[in-house]
Amino acid sequence: MTIAPVACLDQVPTLVEPRIRDLLGRLDPRNGRVAAYHLGYCDADGAPSAAGGKGIRPALALLSARAAGQSPERGVDAAVAVELAHNFSLLHDDVMDQDTLRRHRPTAWAVFGPAAAILAGDALMLLAHDALADESRPGGAKAARRLATDVHRLIAGQAADLDFERRDDVSLDECLAMSADKTAALMSCACALGALLCGAPAAVTRGLSRFGEHLGMSFQLVDDQLGIWGEPGRTGKPVGSDLRARKKSVPIVHALTSGTAAGEALRALYASARELDEADLVLAGRLLEESGSRDWVQGEADRHLIRGLDELAALELPAGVYDDLFGLARLVTGRDH
């Protein structure tokens, strides 16, 4: 099997970015500049740069159109909508979490202030809707509803995530549901939306949707591990950042609810009022390994990836589409090296 994730990712700058830049041109210049900075199209002074994300979600949306037997061009509006919705949520999340770094650069609110970042996020959410509203194809209304549903899930997931920081009785099931809402919903949306826009049969969009949901869970579980054990070169975030912020990510909640001595020791560490120092972070990482949480999370990430691929394999996809989706799935879940 040939794995060529780069080939389908390469279509994002050529097919999707120009359309996003067009849409940014509709915005008030102030909001447009903050959005362009956040998307990596320019630096803080407005000078052109190329510091954007990998474009995983738009690449999935283009492949979704191909999965429905259409050209990737037919998935462009879906790709644009998903990418804008994703970046709306990043802009707002960074304000809410007071994160100062993303993709190795200062976050938009850190550069332009929280108000400007909130407004730019609002504007991107509207543009995401606009991208599908321009759509006169029969699948347009369905696609718009699907996007709205998944953005509602995204917002609910973020609300749960913030709520968990204040609670010490979060169950593993709650935590997994939060991850599904916060991350898997929009990834599932990306995988289904291109096919939906093309009016694909329900069985195809359902299979793609399930693939995306599993892929999103696998991605989030891997990301949760990276939030604890690094690597900053990959994430652009410092090692231990989730622990330092006392986040209740899945590995942490798994340990806290494991009934093990290591889990109880982690609970005591989390309950202390003081700021966690480097030694605490090393200790917390070790407790998570001793409680079996690191292995369990890795196992769940693998299981979701395999179940997602099973969903794909059950579909009769046009030549090359399975391979490209498989390649992207490897990339997303850190199995590409």
Which residues of this protein are in contact with its own copies, per CB under 8 A? 26-28, 30-31, 88, 92, 95-97, 114-116, 118-119, 121-123, 125-126, 129-130, 133, 141, 144-145, 148, 151-152, 155-156, 158-160, 162-163
State the nearest-atom distance from the C-beta of 304 to its own copies, in Å. 23
Burial of 16 (0-12, 13-18, 19+ CB in 10 A): buried
For the chain, how far is it from start to end, CA to CA, in angstroms?
Answer: 16
Q: Is the Cβ of residue 130 or residue 302 nearer to its own copies in the bound state?
A: 130
Largest separation between any pair of C-alpha atoms in the chain = 59
Q: Is the Cβ of residue 143 or residue 317 nearer to its own copies in the bound state?
A: 143
State the nearest-atom distance from the C-beta of 150 to its own copies, in Å. 10
Q: Is the Cβ of residue 137 or residue 307 nearer to its own copies in the bound state?
A: 137
- Look at the alpha carbons of 293, 337, 330, 87 in this order and tell me if their dihedral is positive or negative: positive
State the nearest-atom distance from the C-beta of 124 to its own copies, in Å. 10
Q: Is the Cβ of residue 19 or residue 330 nearer to its own copies in the bound state?
A: 19
Q: Is the Cβ of residue 153 or residue 294 nearer to its own copies in the bound state?
A: 153
Q: Is the Cβ of residue 124 or residue 221 nearer to its own copies in the bound state?
A: 124
Distance of CA 48 to the CA centre of its chain: 25
Q: Is the Cβ of residue 130 or residue 289 nearer to its own copies in the bound state?
A: 130
State the nearest-atom distance from the C-beta of 203 to its own copies, in Å. 25
- Rounded Cα gap, residues 293 and 271, in angstroms: 19
User: 296 by DSSP, 3-state: which?
Assistant: helix
DSSP state, residue 27: S
Distance of CA 19 to the CA centre of its chain: 21
- Contacts of residue 298, defined as CB under 8 A and 6 or more positions apart, other chains included, come to 221, 225
Burial of 180 (0-12, 13-18, 19+ CB in 10 A): middle
State the nearest-atom distance from the C-beta of 289 to its own copies, in Å. 31
State how far the alpha carbon of 284 is from the alpha carbons of 161, 267, 288, 294, 315, in Å: 20, 10, 6, 12, 43
State the nearest-atom distance from the C-beta of 64 to its own copies, in Å. 21
Q: Residues 85, 35: contact at Cβ < 8 Å?
A: no
State the nearest-atom distance from the C-beta of 132 to its own copies, in Å. 10
